[in-house]
Chains A and B, each alone.
Chain A
Amino acid sequence: MDDRSMAPRSLLRKSRILVTGGTSGLGRALVREFRTRGAHVAFVARTAARVEKTAAEEAGTLGIVADVADKLAIHAIALQVLGWRGGLDVLVNNASSLGPVPLAPLADTECEALEEALATNVLAPFRLTKALLGALAASAREGRGAVVVNVSSDAAVNAYATWGAYGASKAALRHLSRIWDDELRSVGVRFLSIDPGDMDTPLHALAVPDADPRDLLAPQTAARTIADAIVDALPVRASVRRNATDPASLQAAS
């Protein structure tokens, strides 16, 4: 029996979390999942109307309208999320670009389509991580922990024909995640590269229009897995340790 959902450790109570690409697909599911677990959730997306709709549906969240691929938007995003709650514990770089749509062999891929995939899938997570690293490291020093999740794909590992722009950019992101993790583990900021699998999302529908949704994972299921991975990467909360006389807390901390 999986009793994780009942255990205090499955909660992200008062964790301050930013999700990019938060109004559709996996990002939208992550906003709901984190909010359900008690986190303070901020999210970024490009379309004002969709940001407003999601913010209205998920009470208490902060919606930020911006394009993460625009380098001039990065510090404006960081300022808003850090001003809102005074810091950040978890960053989820989820916003992704497929590159050419429909998918195309590399030889038929316009340079601009590759640039767009790199801007969204590599440069945006890199810039946003750098802008927020001071806050993440401060969280780690204060014992709250700090995690960056970079949403990956099996296309980051395997070479699939017609997935060149997406695969190459996700491979670069996966490598960035591993090097960041190696370099910043000592300051307490953990990096997770997570491949959620093939999901029933607008992005997947663009890539594989004739896929059978029954063969695809529900985004909410993938969101739960990612939230669990974040909980596992965060330190046991000081509050849990302080309440060590409470048997439930002892169990959770062990």
Chain B
Amino acid sequence: MIAADRAVQRPASARLLIIDAAGRVTQSPRTRWLDFLARGDLVVANDAATMPASLAGIHARTGQPIEVRLAAWRSPVSGATAAFDAIVFGSGDYRTRTEDRPPPPELASGDEFVFGTLTAAVVRLLDHPRFVRLRFAATAAAFWQHVARRGRPIQYAHLQQPIALWDSWTSIAAAPVAFEPPSAGFVIAWRDVASMRERGIGFATLTHAAGLSSTGDAALDRRLPLDEWYRISASTAAAIADTGARRGRLIAIGTTVVRAVEHAASRPGGIRAAGRQATQRIDAHTPLRVVDALVTGTHERGSSHHELLRAFASDTVLDAAARTLDRDGFRTHEFGDSMLVFADGRTKSRRAMQRADIARAA
């Protein structure tokens, strides 16, 4: 595959690779993605806006420059504090590959980072020299003012130009809780939202704090995805329940949506209006309880995103798809081409069995 090196969310040339439930692989211009859905389906997208999660500052005890990349919420910005798990780099910036960035000064619990007028304390070290829990001493207003002024969106070495905040916000971006863009959502234009209505396709959103896609450190990367906060509203919970009752299909826009709704569905009582932390990994052995299809980017084998695809399709099918992506020069990464993957028969037969179980129990 070829790296998409320009931050254009919906290039006219964008392509879509479709894997249907029988494992057949076809292609289409991506602008026609709704043609593969049907009346009664429900599209669920992640409406998180992306925060400028990269903060340049000083490690107070040594005076050394550091860069902090916020990676996971530990407590919301409310009252006087916000806490995050974060990755800390030494000097330099995104122009150096993360793999080549020097480590930060040796960190200790209680250390302070100074970002202009904002300070954060290391609450504790996590099990890696770059990985810490931070608490900011600031009101919500002061925190966001500072982040708006001094924060930068997390950058990608494969892009020609640094991305600005607006490059990282999808059309439907709302609460700024994501650390990297929920980039599958770049596919959605407002004309698609209108078109869904005309076609009898439902549209709902949840908010999922998409975390870092890569840390530049193999040991840390193996831990991805970190726990991710999400919120499902009452109207979205109702739309999902209604779609299930009518045997409509749930089409997730992005892996974050799969993680959020499958996490919620695994909880006692099922999908309810709530804010929670998604803690699970999804792989070949994960039963999909509610998601029927996924719109996502084109992912390299071995990444956590690719592992998640194995819950939808067999390795044989994914290998065939990967050959097509390579052969036909699909573009990869955040601003690349997309895939629409329908879950294969495993899920369908399992759900039929579940329904039979429920019927017998009743």
Interface size counted on chain B using CB atoms at 8 A:
34
Known: A76-B149, A79-B148, A79-B165. A143 touches B235 (CB 8 A): yes
Q: B147 near A79 (CB under 8 angstroms)?
A: yes
Residues of chain B lying within 8 A (CB to CB) of residue A77: 148
**A64 and B145 alpha carbons, distance in the complex (Å):** 8
Within A133-161, the residues touching B (CB, 8 Å) are: 133-135, 137-138, 141-143
A79 near B144 with CB under 8 A, answer: yes
Chain A residues within 8 Å of chain B by Cβ, number: 27
Let me know if B172 and A138 touch, CB within 8 A.
Answer: yes
Contact B205 A138 (CB under 8 A): yes
Chain B: minimal CB distance from A52 (Å): 12
Distance between Cα atoms of A78 and B140 in the complex (Å): 14
Within 8 Å of chain A (Cβ to Cβ): is B193? yes
Contact residues in B for A142 (Cβ distance below 8 Å): 233-235
Cβ–Cβ contact B169 & A84, under 8 A:
no
Instruction: Give the chain A neighbours of B170 by CB distance below 8 A.
Output: 134
Report yes or no: B165 in contact with A75, Cβ–Cβ below 8 A.
Answer: yes
Q: A82-B49, A143-B235, A186-B197 are in contact. Are A138 and B174 (CB under 8 A)?
A: yes
Residue in A62, A75, A138 whose beta carbon sits within 8 Å of that of B47 in the complex? A138
Inter-chain CA distance A79–B77, complex, in Å, is 13
Interface residues of chain A: helix, strand, loop or mixed (majority): helix
Is A244 on the interface with B (CB-CB < 8 A)? no
Q: Which residues of A contact B176 (CB under 8 A)?
A: 79, 82-83
CB neighbours of A74 from chain B (8 A): 166
Q: Are A83 and B174 in contact (CB under 8 A)?
A: no
- CA distance in complex: A143, B164 (Å): 32
Expressed in whole angstroms, the Cα–Cα distance for A84 and B79 within the complex equals 11
With A134-B170, A137-B172, A141-B204: A83-B233 Cβ-Cβ less than 8 Å:
no
A134 x B193 contact (CB < 8 A): no
Tell me the chain A residues, 71-101 only, with Cβ under 8 Å from chain B. 74-80, 82-84, 86-87
A93-121: CB near B (< 8 Å → 1, else 0) gives: 00000000000000000000000000000
- The answer to whether A87 and B147 have CB atoms under 8 Å apart is no
A247 to B141 alpha-carbon distance, docked (Å) = 39
Which residue, of B47, B148, B166, B172, has the highest number of chain A Cβ atoms within 10 A?
A: B148
A206 proximal to B (CB < 8 A): no
Q: How far is the CA of A134 from the CA of B190 in the complex (A)?
A: 10
Point out the residues of chain B lying under 8 angstroms from A75, CB to CB. Answer: 164-166, 169
Task: State which of A62, A64, A83 has its C-beta within 8 Å of the C-beta of B77.
Answer: A83
Beyond the given A135-B49, A138-B174, A141-B204, please list 17 additional residue pairs across the A-B interface where CB-CB is below 8 A: A74-B166, A76-B148, A79-B52, A79-B144, A79-B165, A80-B144, A82-B175, A83-B140, A83-B175, A133-B172, A134-B49, A134-B170, A134-B172, A137-B193, A141-B236, A142-B234, A183-B190
Q: B: which residues have CB within 8 A of A?
A: 47, 49, 51-52, 77, 140-141, 143-145, 147-149, 164-166, 169-176, 190, 193-194, 197, 204-205, 233-236
Q: List 11 A-B contacts (CB under 8 A).
A: A76-B149, A77-B148, A79-B51, A82-B49, A82-B174, A83-B176, A134-B49, A135-B174, A138-B172, A138-B175, A183-B194
The 3 closest A-B pairs by CB, nearest first: A83-B144, A135-B174, A76-B148
